[in-house]
Structure 1
Amino acid sequence: MSLREDNEEGRDLKKPFLHTGSWYRMSGRQSSVFGSTQAIRDSSISVFACVLIVALGPIQFGFTAGYTSPTQSAIINDLGLSVSEFSLFGSLSNVGAMVGAIASGQIAEYIGRKGSLMIASIPNIIGWLAISFAKDSSFLYMGRLLEGFGVGIISYTVPVYIAEISPPNLRGGLVSVNQLSVTIGIMLAYLLGIFVEWRILAIIGILPCTILIPALFFIPESPRWLAKMGMTEEFETSLQVLRGFDTDISVEVNEIKRAVASTNTRITVRFADLKQRRYWLPLMIGIGLLILQQLSGINGVLFYSSTIFRNAGISSSDAATFGVGAVQVLATSLTLWLADKSGRRLLLIVSATGMSFSLLVVAITFYIKASISETSSLYGILSTLSLVGVVAMVIAFSLGMGAMPWIIMSEVPFLWFYILGFYSQSIGICSNNDTCDNLMGKTVISRDDVLPF
């Protein structure tokens, strides 16, 4: 019996708990015990609700990135650290994230997207606890590494999950929620850091992942991952829940099945094969954009924004830092609207141009300020100009380089996992009458949809 026929005869959706959640497994008799559960089942889980739940992961990501800015002076004074030791503490999250990112593909492949997020939440919680109870630098370093490892998994899994559950016409905007959530996490760290001391702030950092773990049981697993694992019935149930119980999903089911069937053959790419355009182009786009994102210097600005403003002569550096966080949230919110309207390439061009110009302004103002007196009127003007430059850089980053690489990463086939000998999942699905290209035996979204360059 098909899923749709089963729905029409009573909607008795009983599926494995770990794959597709819990509440919509219940039959009509069972759900009556739980009051409003039946009404929730009838209206279905919205894709937007699922995105809001997994967005707790990138909020954790952002909180980790923003934690060092308001806490630098207090941690250095309380634990007797040098500036270089604190800088190492801040940088270790990136080291852990590299390890987590390398492992994330395998983890997401074998235990699913929800399982990956649960795995990622555990080291984050332990890491924050280690920092909050730290008596010396060793606990700080260990906690920061654990946070970074969890963030590395989150940074891969969340945009992939959102891309896999989203309708094609909403994919760009919904995947941009990942970056928006990161900026919200940064802003919260900046804001709370003004009012609470660094150990309490670390305890607060536990909350996103602590809420995320139980919330994951109430959303469906990625339909495409379930289909690839051969769980056909569970995959159809998950998709039906995401699209609504009254929606005909037969066309999308067939599209996903065809896409999954095209990935049945395991393919290993040799390095010599990278000479071929069909291999090196998506590899260069996917990895290159993420490398450029990190080389833009945004992490240095976000990690140490309070120190930057203090050195620039801004008296209320913490307030200025929070202002930057708030501006970043607003700019990233604008990107949600622009992502599916302006195209990826245009936003990346505007973003890169704006960042280059604003960083040049900041560099020039700091260079000139080093040679003039703090009592001169020009010094105050340059301080304001440096603040404007930093804010402009954050806005420009948020409009393109912040969100677009994650969107493109979720749309371009993950070629680098083949190079590592891994078996990559199919991310894109041809929708409607789009012309599908075949890359490495994989069905992907049409080039106009995936690479609007």
Structure 2
Amino acid sequence: MVVKSNSPGDFDKRISGLRRSLPQIIAVTVKNILLLAYGMTIGFPTILIPSLSGGNPHEKIVLEPEAISWIGSANYLSVPLGCLLSGAITQPIGRRRAMQLVTTPFLASWLLYHFSTEAWQVFLALCLTGFAGGLLEAPTLTYLAEVTTPNLRGVLASTSTVSIIAGILIEFMLGTFLHWRNVALISCSVPVLACLLLFCVPESPYWLISKNRLEDARKSTAWLRGWLEVEDVEKEFNELVEQLKRTSRSQAAEEASEEGQSTFNKKLKKSRQNLSMYTKKPFLWPFGLVSFVFALGHFSGMTTLQTYAVNIFATLKAPIDKYYATIILGIAEALGCILSSILVHFVGKRKMNFFSLTGTAVCFFVVATYAYLIDVKALQIASKHNELDTENRSWLPLTFLVGAAFFSHSGIRILPWMLIGEVYYSKIRATASGFSGAMSYIFGFLSNKVFFSMIASFTLPETEGKTLFQITEHFAGGPKLDNKVNNFVRMRKMKKKNLENGRVNKAFDGEDGEQANSKF
């Protein structure tokens, strides 16, 4: 396939479609390495949590369950702060330099992980990774939009999420075979690689024109359109310049209409106009819709599963090593993203969301029923690496948890990010997108932070046939009750048998135990 050059003076020159597309693909791929680095920071807590939970006697840092819940959520909490500063940093220094700047906190966080000796250092590294992820939002989204042509923009945009999921999968794989400190050290290479490769791709021509760097903008456009000569892209370049001039003239006319007003009154009027746009239906309805879909995605269970995957697989007795199970989980997420990217253009977002929600709900319902039947009392926090007993193992929970990962990432976890760029009108799109992205990370923080509290609150023990002493001890934090109904006759037989074997002291058993206890 070949297409003609856009140059007005060289219409006979023919450029292949591959040559026109390849520079844009390369530029977006380099940008995606940064998103890969961010995905690795999201996947890292999954291998960090079991390592710091007390299962390894040689580990310097050991955390309590409350602190563990913060490991799974602290990075999400600091992302909105980065989002707020992202646009302010991107416009003055440019898209490419902003992306290179973000590699610094990524590198610092990985080094902090590797050399950490105190818990606060781990939490600081978590906050740094979240902050860096927020800083990424404006330069990566803007760069993608400004260096691609309309026919490639949608396809290349879908690779962003795939890159993040790939980063998560890489961390799962590294954590299976290496100590978490070594994983952190290896992960340092990705932001360094991204920073170096960004020198090899051009800055956005839009930004260069806005800074009146016209010759650099010509070279950038020529590079992105197939490594052409500057003269071959003169027509497209002139169109870009004219578009930006029209925008500048519109802003100048708006300022001229306010001539004669004081600076304070101008700023006050502009602030009121800007705020009023966010109190009207064109913002509130889309914002409510996107926020609702983000809430569904995070509270459907997948965010928590992704963070506590190792512990959940250990608790539900996966038939393979729990770290290998996380790799399968990551592969399922990646396959779901790829399927979503392909089918959404044919099926539509609405049907894909219903398909995703239904499949995810069925999978988690089956796993919940299985957990109830095998009498899971609490999440297994501390466990040894590669510890695997052969009793009561089943493929059922592993299969359906992997199924939930696939279904959720084929729709409800991915499509809200596509909606953000479509549901807001142009004048508020940038800011509204930032608000929506911040809501996503807030929901992610909440879903992980309240996980342990929900386990403690929603676990309803079976009290039928249990002694009052056993029940009060359960709710006081002592030995946990199982979900079996204790039949009176069976209890008597077991008590008699235990007494005969010398395993039970009658003074502390059953009703006698309660009476003995009441004397003290």
TM over 0.5: yes
Kindly indicate whether the alpha-carbon contact (under 8 Å) linking 1:176 and 1:339 is maintained by their aligned counterparts in 2: no
Which of 398, 409, 414 aligns to 1:398? It is: 409
Structure 2 CA distance for partners of 1:191 and 1:258, relative to 1, 3 Å: same
How far, CA to CA, are the matches of 2:74 and 2:406 in structure 1? Answer: 26
Structure 2 CA distance for partners of 1:409 and 1:220, relative to 1, 3 Å: farther
- Tell me by how many angstroms 1:280 deviates: 3.1
Letter paired with 1:359: F
Letter paired with 2:96: K
Which of 398, 408, 415 aligns to 2:428? It is: 415
Structure 2 CA distance for partners of 1:137 and 1:97, relative to 1, 3 Å: same
Structure 2 CA distance for partners of 1:151 and 1:345, relative to 1, 3 Å: same
Which of 357, 360, 363 aligns to 2:365? It is: 360
Encode CA deviations 1:397-430: one digit per residue, 9 max, x unaligned.
22223433333334544727558999xxxxxxxx
Kindly indicate whether the alpha-carbon contact (under 8 Å) linking 1:69 and 1:306 is maintained by their aligned counterparts in 2: yes
- Gaps spanning 5+ residues in structure 2: where? 1-5, 12-18, 255-269, 378-390, 436-520
How far, CA to CA, are the matches of 1:385 and 1:256 in structure 2? Answer: 60
Which of 186, 190, 207 aligns to 1:204? It is: 186
Kindly indicate whether the alpha-carbon contact (under 8 Å) linking 1:158 and 1:178 is maintained by their aligned counterparts in 2: no
How far, CA to CA, are the matches of 1:397 and 1:341 in structure 2? Answer: 19
Residues 1:146 and 2:144 are matched in the alignment? no
- Tell me by how many angstroms 1:194 deviates: 1.1
Q: How does 1:49-198 map to 2 (within 5 A)?
A: 49-77=26-54, 78=59, 79-198=61-180
How far, CA to CA, are the matches of 1:288 and 1:255 in structure 2? Answer: 37
CA RMSD in angstroms, aligned pairs only? 3.5
Kindly indicate whether the alpha-carbon contact (under 8 Å) linking 1:75 and 1:198 is maintained by their aligned counterparts in 2: no
- How many positions carry a matched residue from both structures? 381
**Structure 1 equivalent of residue 281 of structure 2:** 277
Structure 2 CA distance for partners of 1:141 and 1:334, relative to 1, 3 Å: same
Structure 2 CA distance for partners of 1:6 and 1:80, relative to 1, 3 Å: farther
Letter paired with 2:184: A
How far, CA to CA, are the matches of 1:6 and 1:217 in structure 2? Answer: 32
- Tell me by how many angstroms 1:288 deviates: 5.1
Structure 2 CA distance for partners of 1:288 and 1:322, relative to 1, 3 Å: same
Kindly indicate whether the alpha-carbon contact (under 8 Å) linking 2:39 and 2:163 is maintained by their aligned counterparts in 1: yes
**Structure 1 equivalent of residue 444 of structure 2:** none
Residues 1:314 and 2:318 are matched in the alignment? yes
Structure 2 CA distance for partners of 1:420 and 1:251, relative to 1, 3 Å: closer
Kindly indicate whether the alpha-carbon contact (under 8 Å) linking 2:293 and 2:416 is maintained by their aligned counterparts in 1: yes
How far, CA to CA, are the matches of 1:259 and 1:355 in structure 2? Answer: 46
TM-score by length of 1: 0.73
**Structure 1 equivalent of residue 246 of structure 2:** 261
TM-score by length of 2: 0.65
Which of 220, 224, 240 aligns to 1:238? It is: 220
Encode CA deviations 1:5-41: one digit per residue, 9 max, x unaligned.
9999xxxxxxxxxxxxxxxxxxxxxxxxxxxxxxxxx
Residues 1:47 and 2:24 are matched in the alignment? yes
Percentage of identical aligned residues = 23
Letter paired with 2:38: F
How far, CA to CA, are the matches of 2:144 and 2:432 in structure 1? Answer: 25
How far, CA to CA, are the matches of 1:70 and 1:85 in structure 2? Answer: 15
**Structure 2 equivalent of residue 226 of structure 1:** 208
Kindly indicate whether the alpha-carbon contact (under 8 Å) linking 2:83 and 2:138 is maintained by their aligned counterparts in 1: yes
Kindly indicate whether the alpha-carbon contact (under 8 Å) linking 2:50 and 2:310 is maintained by their aligned counterparts in 1: no
- Tell me by how many angstroms 1:113 deviates: 1.8
Kindly indicate whether the alpha-carbon contact (under 8 Å) linking 2:114 and 2:182 is maintained by their aligned counterparts in 1: yes
Kindly indicate whether the alpha-carbon contact (under 8 Å) linking 2:8 and 2:235 is maintained by their aligned counterparts in 1: no
Kindly indicate whether the alpha-carbon contact (under 8 Å) linking 2:76 and 2:130 is maintained by their aligned counterparts in 1: yes
- Gaps spanning 5+ residues in structure 1: where? 9-41, 373-377, 423-453
How far, CA to CA, are the matches of 1:360 and 1:211 in structure 2? Answer: 43
**Structure 1 equivalent of residue 235 of structure 2:** 250
How far, CA to CA, are the matches of 1:190 and 1:284 in structure 2? Answer: 34
Structure 2 CA distance for partners of 1:421 and 1:369, relative to 1, 3 Å: closer
- Tell me by how many angstroms 1:232 deviates: 4.1
Kindly indicate whether the alpha-carbon contact (under 8 Å) linking 2:172 and 2:330 is maintained by their aligned counterparts in 1: yes
**Structure 2 equivalent of residue 29 of structure 1:** none
Kindly indicate whether the alpha-carbon contact (under 8 Å) linking 2:20 and 2:225 is maintained by their aligned counterparts in 1: no
What is the SS of the residue equivalent to 1:76?
A: coil
Structure 2 CA distance for partners of 1:248 and 1:118, relative to 1, 3 Å: closer
- Tell me by how many angstroms 1:330 deviates: 2.3
